[in-house]
A and B are shown apart, each in its own frame.
Chain A
Amino acid sequence: MKILVPIKRVIDPYIKVRVKADHSDVETNNVKMTINPFCEIAVEEAVRLKEQGIADEVIVVSAGGSQCQEQLRTALALGADRAIHVDTEDKIEPLVVAKLLKALVEQEQAQLVITGKQSIDTDNNQVAQMLAALLDWPQATFASDVKIEDQKVQVVREVDGGLLTVAMNLPAVISTDLRLNEPRFASLPNIMKAKRKPLDTITPDSLGVEVVFSQTIQEVTPPAQRKGGIKVESVSELLDKLRNEAKVIS
């Protein structure tokens, strides 16, 4: 079985983003970039399935400018077998990503796609669901446990209020939640080896997908700042403030 894992290059989650002065976007120049953490979990899960003998090949794919090849190399160092870079503008919309992935799934005859549940930049949480719809495949989003046996996938999903378990037939799409696994670190020998693994660059045209935009970001603004609070000295002072100043308790 081939597993396709889409990954995305994003601003490092531990960096505090700054909105540009002209409000066109957030600042990305000279900012540390990384693999989206949810995508890293997806790569880890796919590599584990290969180590268990369930998958034969793990293909990582990223759509964006040439810089996303860095993140593809990282994924190769984590254990993916080969990489495909779809050369596009950086900010293509989830539906276009899903269409590119659909074409790749068909081209590669992949049986399973594992994505992150959302990217931490746009916070859309859409690609896995859209891809499953386009392929007419089952979906298991927000996965915290995945078991595969005899072309059957059982997935525990994190839903509001608890956990929900579903069983699907392959082929299928899974999106990862944070608790699915703990991604490994790439060792130096693996980073060296990853440099020799295949990384192909293709265009959306070659996949027969037109890159269109239906959403325009008119303005990006920083959130309203909370005004600096005060530190109180004692529990009685705190209760007094909550009762008489903030009036949030009686």
Chain B
Amino acid sequence: MSQSSPRVLVVVQHDGTHCSPSTLSTFSAAQQLATLCAKCPIDALLVGYQCQPVCEELQQLGIINQVNLVDDEWYVHPLSERIAPVVAEVSQRYSHVLSSATTFGKDLMPRVAALLDVGQLSDITAIESADTIIRPIYAGNAYARVQSSDPIKVMTVRESAFDNIQPTEGSTTVTRLQRVNSPISTEFVGQIMTESARPDLTSAKVVVSGGRGLGSKENFTLVETLADKLGGAIGASRAAVDAGFVPNDLQVGQTGKVVAPDLYIAVGISGAIQHIAGMKESKVIVAINNDPDAPIFEVADYGLVGDLFTIVPELIENL
């Protein structure tokens, strides 16, 4: 099991070329944790195939003591059945194992925790001490302070709750490890990614989201044009996704993405609890809706009651 002195491991999410922005937030959480553990070392675990560029990127951060690198064709696709055994093996040398609360980390880390016979702390938003964290429950309608007595603390970190790290001067060693085979034969069949030139939804400074009020897929271009004018990302409510206006990975809310931009503009969104849970940490919220009683106005800093089909074009015109 874990050694007595604390050591923090971050399991890196990447695309073979870059580590994900969510991983940088996870390193920020790891830095906080390390500070609370008498400046204990932070290591990284990088599992992939031909992921040397990611390894170099990690070394440049300066905060990582050691990168544990497992580079093997076996890991060409991020399948948790393959990755979890090697993460679990490496994790035994650590007191804390962190990854991002993205679909990557959510899929992988509970599998790792079970292999280690420990619990998991999901989607944490703050760290109070080496064994105590804060996490949202009930779709962010309450926050729980949770203490864990597990010998290895496995956690996933909510990206929007931690800033990106500031790179520092420091030297990082790289240790190459062997792959760990698993008899499970899950096959990768394919993936369809949503193409977008806009900033990533979870890390954008400005997000413009559309809801059912837009009425059609064609009308969603209003949201896109406004987002482009502001250099922002586009998001959507579940109603807009279910109506087929946009793909589901743009959904903001409890069951979709959680965002915390500087400016969030909700267009034609009524503001169901599930949606509010995904955006209420935004610095400034603007709501544009024709229903003055829509719940979205209760969380909006600036509300504009009226027809979005006249308001949004006017906004675009004046920006």
Contacts and interface: CB of A to CB of B under 8 A. Distances in A.
A214 B143 contact: no
**Interface size, B (range):** 35 or more
Interface in B299-319: 299-305, 311, 314-315, 318-319
Given A221-B143, A229-B297, A16 B120 contact: no
Nearest to B187: A167
B315 A238 contact: yes
B248 interface: yes
A154 B123 contact: no
Interface residues of A, number: 77
B189 A139 contact: no
B302 A178 contact: no
B142 A139 contact: no
Contacts of A124: 110, 120, 122
Contacts of A168: 185-187
B5 interface: no
B19 to A, nearest CB: 14
Contacts of B202: 160
B216 to A, nearest CB: 20
Contacts of B263: 242, 246, 248-249
Between B80, B109, B257, B292, the greatest number of chain A beta carbons within 10 A of the residue's beta carbon is seen for: B80
Interface of B: 79-81, 84, 102-104, 106-115, 117-123, 132, 135-150, 183-194, 202, 206, 230, 238, 242, 247-249, 254-255, 257, 262-263, 273-274, 280, 283-286, 292, 297-305, 311, 314-315, 318-319
Interface of A: 11, 13-14, 16-17, 19, 26, 93-95, 98, 120-134, 136-142, 144, 154, 157-169, 177-179, 214-223, 226, 228-232, 234-236, 238-239, 241-242, 246, 248-249
20 contacts: A26-B142, A95-B118, A125-B123, A126-B110, A129-B80, A129-B110, A133-B112, A134-B114, A136-B184, A138-B184, A140-B186, A159-B191, A161-B193, A165-B191, A223-B143, A230-B301, A232-B304, A235-B304, A236-B318, A248-B283
